[in-house]
Amino acid sequence: MKIKRIKEILIGSTKFKMKWDKSCCSGAFSFGDDKEKAFIAIGVKGINEEYEFDVLLHELSEIIHVVCHHRYQGTDCEDNYQFIMDHRAHTIHSTLLSAAIMKFIY
Ligand SMILES: [Zn+2]
């Protein structure tokens, strides 16, 4: 498998700039604010393609959960989100994720 390092991707109505970050090995995303446009950051420092794909899939999936309003802030701690959906919503999520991930595969 070869991951295509595209420059931007449209998810929902937001265009995300792709940042392939050679300084770290984790993922992050933002829907943007008045200082910075929306981005997806994928850390690629010293990682193999399987792990890079894992990080990419995690961020794309989570963005789609946010777009579909499945992701909620947990009450126990700040970075432990809860994802709530039924199977119909999961099917829509999977379809959107499939469309997104296809942009990164040769
Ligand atoms: Zn996450």
pLDDT digits (tens, 9 = 90+) for 82-106: 999 999 999 999 999 999 999 999 8
Ligand 1 centroid to residue 34 C-alpha, Å: 23
Contact criterion met (CB below 8 Å) for 43 and 24 = yes
Q: What is the pTM of this model?
A: 0.93
Ligand 1 centroid to residue 50 C-alpha, Å: 17
Contact criterion met (CB below 8 Å) for 19 and 29 = no
Whole-number average pLDDT of the chain: 95
